[in-house]
Amino acid sequence: MTIRKLSRGVALVGAGMSKFGAFPGQSSRDLFVEAFQEMLASVEKGFDPKEIEALFIGNFSSDLFENQGHTAPIMADWVGLTPRPATRIEDACASGGAALRQGVLAIASGLYDIVLVGGIEKMTDLPIERVTDTLATAADALYEVPAGFTFPGLYAAMATAYMAEYGAAPDVFLKVGYKNHENGALNPKAQFGQRIADIMEARKKSAAKKGLPIPEWADEMAFLNDERANPTIAWPLRLYDCSPVSDGAAAVLLVSEDLARRFTDTPLYVIGSGQASDGAIHDRPTLTSLPSAKKAAEMAYQMAGVKPADIDVVEVHDCFTIAEIIATEDLGFFEPGQGWRAVAEGKTARGGERPINTSGGLKSKGHPVGASGVGQVIEIWKQLRGEAGERQLPGNPRLGLTHNVGGTGQTCVVHIFERR
Amino acid sequence: MSAFNHITHYAALGENKLVGSRCSACGKTFYPARPMCPACYGSALEAVEFSGKGKLAAYSVIYIAPTAMIQAGFDRKNPYCAAVVELEEGPRICAQLVGVDVKQPESIRIGQPVQATFLQRGEGESARTFLAFQP
Ligand SMILES: [Zn+2]
């Protein structure tokens, strides 16, 4: 296979995000302004925003979530960047990662030197059934959805295939969510800034306040296995196996490599970019791996000239807990069938040998779908620059990777970043 | 161009048949039927009827249903099983799995043989036959 390289280098010199969560009364443009302002403030040496030449905005379905199509020019207008070209990129939950890749390619092509990449989604205005229906439009409407499949259902089906093939039990999925809540509690931007233990305590207090019997759980796993506290959504996945419905936005500034140090002394270089597509879940040779993720990862590793073992910081697309386990195998961090054992042994915890999703992941940080792929980059930006606060990984991390999935793997985008 | 699409797919299900397509050039079979062979780009595809026999490849018992399944009477108290089935001819397909104990999801076994069955759903214009499987 030919190893593809960018025809010129691209650097990340600014990054910002809104808080992720449920924000009644705020539209996606309000959240994007919040992300844009934080991005501006992150550029240490400052710059004139009017130098930005083009925008690529990841967004899955503002049409159905907000009754608003054609969102990219609105974002450009709200941050004072018309008449520059503004294009919306849609690849379901991988829209943000795909927008990032388009921004990278636009600079590498030589056409632009300074590009703004954004991700937006405003999901919480709709009732839950319509959110479920809207997300289901990322699946095959003719041949997957009529079977009764929802998104949790499709990932749950992968979970049953994984359990049958490798002997994992649903308990280990819950441990992924537990771990991501531990991380998200240290992230001020996270939708759920609470550990599972904090949530248990809050439940007890709430029951006491209402004069109801106070629930008792032996430990966090007992709570997570309690059907009343953690109801089944799509067996074997429970509520705490699923990322939440979220509002949020994120924005990053990309420039050509030669300009990077005009903006900051600590740029991150985009050294690997891969993207792949795939058919519906039933048309794949495997149900325990995402072929598109393996392909996108291979492209990114080859472009970057690095191996999985070289990567220090990893943000993967944990839209469901099983997705994180499969991602860690597809990215080559663990052998097929070993990802669940790594979780059980604590290897993917913040203090483990292969920390995964130090931001809290989509599970705890939130999953405003079109923003998630750009939101992942914010964590890499902070970790590689030593700005991740209480959740900062030790050892001066140098290489970071993002893995952003659309649908059940009809799209996957992988990027690798380096601090030099 | 062969006239295979979702209309012909659901029309065949209406006659309680699983009709896919086979590429005359390379012999690859497709279910659901495709109008062009994505493997060799052959455009001569012939209809082929599948036996409806297969085995369970993956499944989930779904408690939070989409609108269409809520309208079909399913909810948290009445969950249903959605599955991926591997047909004996090779292709896999998504379909509802009936005749299994959804209250005991662990009792449903991956690899178990299943057989096609046909469900009528919807009213008036939207009435159609859906593919399902049962043990
Ligand atoms: Zn062919």
Task: Write the CATH number for B91.
Answer: 2.40.50.840
Please check whether residues B18 and B74 belong to one and the same domain. Answer: no
Do residue B10 and residue B62 come from a single domain?
no
Q: How many CB pairs under 8 A join A and B?
A: 112
> Do B35 and B62 belong to one domain?
no
Task: Tell me: pLDDT of A314 over 50.
Answer: yes
Contacts of A192 (CB under 8 A, 6+ apart): A181, A184, A199, A244, A360, A364, A366
Instruction: State pLDDT tens for residues A54-103.
Output: 999 999 999 999 999 999 999 999 999 999 999 999 999 999 999 999 99
Phi, psi of B77 (to 5 degrees): -80, -20
Task: Confirm or reject contact between B82 and chain A (CB < 8 A).
Answer: yes
B39 touches chain A (CB under 8 A): no
Q: Does B59 touch chain A (CB under 8 A)?
A: yes
What pLDDT was estimated at residue A283? Answer: 94
Report the domain count for chain A.
Answer: 1
Rounded average pLDDT over A210-228: 96
Distance, C-alpha A362 to centroid of its chain: 5
ipTM at complex level: 0.97
Assess whether B60 and B114 both reside in one domain: yes
Q: Alpha-carbon dihedral of residues A321, A62, A400, A392, nearest 10 degrees? A: -70
What's at B119, amino acid-wise? L
DSSP code for A91: B
Residues lining ligand 1 (ion), CB within 5 A?
B 23, 25-26, 28, 37, 39-40, 42
Residue B122 is predicted with a pLDDT of: 83
A4 falls within a domain: no
Q: Is A152 on the interface with B (CB under 8 A)?
A: yes
pLDDT of residue A16: 98
Contact by Cβ (8 Å): A255, A13:
yes
Tell me what the mean pLDDT of segment A236-264 comes to: 98
Q: Residue B115 in 3-state DSSP?
A: strand
Together in a domain, B31 and B14: yes
> How many angstroms is it from B21 CA to the middle of ligand 1?
10
User: Does A161 sit within 8 Å of B61, measured CB to CB?
Assistant: no
Q: Please indicate if any CB of chain B lies within 8 Å of the CB of A129.
A: yes
Please tell me which of the candidates B6, B65, B96 has its beta carbon nearest to residue A147: B96
- B105 CB within 8 Å of a chain A CB: yes
Q: Give the distance, in angstroms, between the CA of residue B65 and the centroid of all CA atoms in the same chain.
A: 18
Residue A399 lies in a domain: yes
Q: What is the rounded average pLDDT of the residues A10-29? A: 98
- pLDDT-based confidence at B126, cuts 50/70/90? confident
CB A273 within 8 A of CB A101: yes
Residue A181 pLDDT: 98
Exactly one of A181, A367, A403, A415 is catalytic; which is it?
A367
Q: Mean pLDDT for chain A? A: 97
* Average pLDDT over every residue of A30-59: 98
CA distance from start to end of chain B: 37
pLDDT of residue A250: 98
- B64-89 burial by CB neighbour count: b if 16+ within 10 A, else e? bbbebbeebebeeeebbbbbbbbbeb
Q: Backbone phi, then psi, for A263, in 5-degree steps?
A: -100, -35
What radius of gyration, in Å, describes the C-alpha atoms of chain B? 16
A350 belongs to a structural domain: yes
**CB contacts, 8 Å: A289 with chain B:** none
Best to test chain A binding among B5, B64, B108, B114 (most A CBs inside 10 Å): B64
- Rounded Cα distance between A203 and A68, Å, is 37
Q: What is the pLDDT of residue A4?
A: 87
- pLDDT (0 to 100) of residue A97: 98
pLDDT value at A357 more than 50? yes
**A146 has pLDDT over 50:** yes
What pLDDT is stored for residue B125 in this prediction? 82
- How sure is the predictor about B81, in pLDDT bands with cuts at 50, 70 and 90? very high
Q: Model confidence at A294, in pLDDT bands (50, 70, 90)?
A: very high
Buried b (16+ CB within 10 A) or exposed e, A30-62: ebbbbbbebbbebbeeebeeeebbbbbbbbbbb
pLDDT above 50 for A116: yes
- Structure confidence at residue B123 (pLDDT): 82
Domain extent at residue B105: 51-135
Are residues B67 and B120 both part of a single domain?
Answer: yes
- Flag if A148 and B62 touch (Cβ within 8 Å): yes
Q: Which residue of A has its CA nearest to B6?
A: A142
What region, left, alpha or beta, does residue A47 occupy, with left being phi > 0 and alpha being psi -120 to 50 degrees?
A: beta
Q: What is the pLDDT of residue A23?
A: 98
| Mean pLDDT, residues A307-327 taken together | 98
- What is the per-residue pLDDT for A80? 98
Q: Chain A contacts of B96, Cβ < 8 Å?
A: 147-148
Amino acid type, A412: C
Q: Is there a single domain that holds both residue B128 and residue B66?
A: yes
What is the per-residue DSSP string for A360-384?
Answer: -HHHHH---HHHHHHHHHHHHHHHH
Do B119 and B55 fall into the same domain? yes
Residues paired with B82 in a beta bridge: B60, B96
What pLDDT, on the 0 to 100 scale, is given for residue B1? 42
What global pTM score does this model have? 0.97
Distance between CA atoms of residues B29 and B33, nearest Å: 8
pLDDT for position A373: 98
SS3 percent helix, strand, coil of chain B, rounded to 5, is 15, 40, 45
Length of chain B: 135
Q: Is the pLDDT assigned to residue A1 strictly greater than 80? A: no
Contact (CB<8Å) A237/B60 = yes
Q: Which residues from chain B sit within 8 angstroms of residue A235, using beta carbons?
A: 60-63, 79, 105
Question: Are B115 and B96 in a shared domain?
Answer: yes
B2 pLDDT more than 70: no
Residue type for A279, please? G
Look up the CATH number of the domain holding residue A279.
Answer: 3.40.47.10
Q: Is B4 on the interface with A (CB under 8 A)?
A: no
Q: Is A146 on the interface with B (CB under 8 A)?
A: yes
**Is A221 at the interface with chain B, CB within 8 A?**
no
Q: What's the gap in Å between B22 CA and the centre of ligand 1?
A: 8
- Rounded to the nearest angstrom, the minimum Cα separation between B59 and chain A is 4
Of B13, B32, B49, the last residue of a domain is: B49
Quickly state the pLDDT bin for A327 (edges 50, 70, 90): very high
- Which positions 7-36 of B are in contact with A (Cβ < 8 Å)? 9, 32
C-alpha distances out from residue A74 to A20, A52, A55, Å: 20, 16, 11
- Domain limits for position A323: 10-127+244-419
Residues B60 and B125 placed together within one structural domain of the fold: yes
Q: Is the pLDDT of residue A43 over 80?
A: yes
What's the CA gap between A71 and A63, in Å, rounded? 9
- For the segment A184-211, the average pLDDT, to the nearest whole number, is 96
Contact indicator for A386, A268 with CB cutoff of 8 Å: no
Rounded Cα–Cα distance for residues B108 and B56 (Å): 9
What is the total count of domains within chain B?
2
Let me know if residue A175 belongs to a domain.
no
Q: Are residues B108 and B118 in the same domain?
A: yes
Nearest to A67 by CA among A120, A122, A25: A122
A93 is catalytic: yes
Q: Report percent pLDDT > 70 for chain A.
A: 100
User: How much of chain A exceeds pLDDT 90, in percent?
Assistant: 98
Asked whether residue B73 falls in the same domain as residue B44, the answer is no
* Closest Cβ–Cβ partner in A132, A142, A234 for B60: A234
Residue A325: is its pLDDT beyond 60? yes
Give the pLDDT score at A184: 98
What torsion, rounded to 10 degrees, do the Cα atoms B27, B32, B34, B37 define?
-40
Active site residue A70: no
Please state, in angstroms and rounded to a whole number, the distance separating the CA atoms of residues A372 and A361. Answer: 9
